[in-house]
Amino acid sequence: MKKYKVVVTDDRYGSYKEENKVLSELGITVDIHNFSIPEEAKKILKDADAVLVNLFLLTKDIIDSMENCRVIVRYGVGYDNVDVDAATAKGIWMSRVPDYSLEDVSDHALALLLSSVRKIAYKDRKVREGKWNLHKDWPAFRIAGKTLGILGFGAIARVLFRKISSLGLEKVLIYDPYVPTAEIEKLGGTPASLEDLVSQSDFISIHAPLTKETEGIISEKEFTDMKANCILVNTSRGPLVNEEALYQALKNGQIAAAGIDVFNSEPLTANSPLRTLENITLTDHTGWYSEESIVELKTKAAENVLAVLKGGKPVYPVNNIE
């Protein structure tokens, strides 16, 4: 049996029993690394048959140096840290795991929304400081009877839509130019333009992938057009929202609050002005996380590798090399 080399570029999990269990069919034990510089990665990946990547940046230069690789798998939904065009040009499959944390991210988006609506994080801080009667400081409004806007209507957004449908919303506006209007309507949503979603929604939850088209999709103009009582939630990718514009909108009262799990720079910089605001709930890009989701993610990532090394396609291909 051929001896395959499967490399993890950046160790995020400590244990790789799920990957090794799946890949044991081909006698593979994954090779775990924590690359910090391209030269180190190029040396190790030169003869790798498959690559599993978390957050490490796989550039064209690194991919071009890979002589044996047949598949790159990104642990997670997004893959903006991998040069997919370079992989395609080299005849390397690019894959991901888009459906491992549907319940978890949708739970997190809903939790950020509920926390922002009811001012939970703010009130927790103030009660710890000895404050009381906090409802006088910052009015709260019911969710029932309001309008939710969902920007991007992929798998996670659809699970959120199912969960939030029981809260008595008047309507749910959905903007996704890649989803047919009839499909949105069949599921009970109201198709909307980006402009209408931004201006009419009381709450907005972002679930779009990060692409050249979506980067900065929420910026100064969009915040200007939002309702003053609007609450923005982002559990997708940080660069979808212009952070400076977000800061100014929250500081100046253009919108009421925000719940943010993802940022332009991660970890969130120590001097980020977002840290100074009371009307924002910040979490550490862990919307994807639960103990169950980690097992599912690692198992499915390895199944992508196994499928290709056995001569097939990855389970979740991003590109097409046929």
Q: Is residue 320 part of a domain?
A: no
Q: Is the same domain home to 181 and 250?
A: yes
Q: Is the same domain home to 112 and 258?
A: yes
Instruction: Find the catalytic residue in 266, 275, 278, 292.
Output: 266
Instruction: Supply angle C-alpha 253, 265, 53, rounded to 5.
Output: 140
Q: Is the same domain home to 63 and 211?
A: no
* H helix runs in 165-252, sequence order: 181-186, 194-200, 220-225, 243-251
Averaged pLDDT for residues 234-240? 98
Averaged pLDDT for residues 147-166? 98
CA distance 121 to 119: 6
pLDDT of residue 1 exceeding 80, the answer is no
Q: Is the same domain home to 68 and 130?
A: no
Q: Is residue 322 part of a domain?
A: no
* Poorest-pLDDT segment among 113-122, 136-145, 195-204, 303-312: 136-145
Q: Is the same domain home to 123 and 187?
A: yes
Reply yes or no on whether 285 is catalytic: yes
Q: Is the same domain home to 85 and 123?
A: no
Instruction: Find the catalytic residue in 108, 285, 296, 303.
Output: 285
257 Cβ partners below 8 Å, 6+ apart?
Answer: 116, 119, 231, 232, 250, 279, 280, 281
Q: What is the extent of the structural domain holding 222?
A: 102-282
Instruction: Find the catalytic residue in 74, 222, 237, 303.
Output: 237
Q: Is the same domain home to 78 and 152?
A: no
Q: Is the same domain home to 113 and 77?
A: no
How would residue 136 be classed by pLDDT, with cut points 50, 70 and 90? confident
Q: Is residue 29 part of a domain?
A: yes
Q: Is the same domain home to 86 and 114?
A: no
> What's the CATH number where 249 sits?
3.40.50.720
Q: Is the same domain home to 278 and 154?
A: yes
How would residue 322 be classed by pLDDT, with cut points 50, 70 and 90? confident
Q: Is residue 316 part of a domain?
A: no
Q: Is the same domain home to 37 and 159?
A: no
Q: Is residue 39 part of a domain?
A: yes
Q: Is residue 318 part of a domain?
A: no
Q: Is residue 321 part of a domain?
A: no
Instruction: Identify the bridge partners of residue 74 per DSSP, sorted by sequence position.
Output: 53
Q: Is the same domain home to 153 and 275?
A: yes
CB 202 within 8 A of CB 148: yes
Instruction: Report the number of distinct structural domains present in the chain.
Output: 2
Reply yes or no on whether 237 is catalytic: yes
Q: Is residue 319 part of a domain?
A: no
Helix, strand, or coil (residue 128): helix
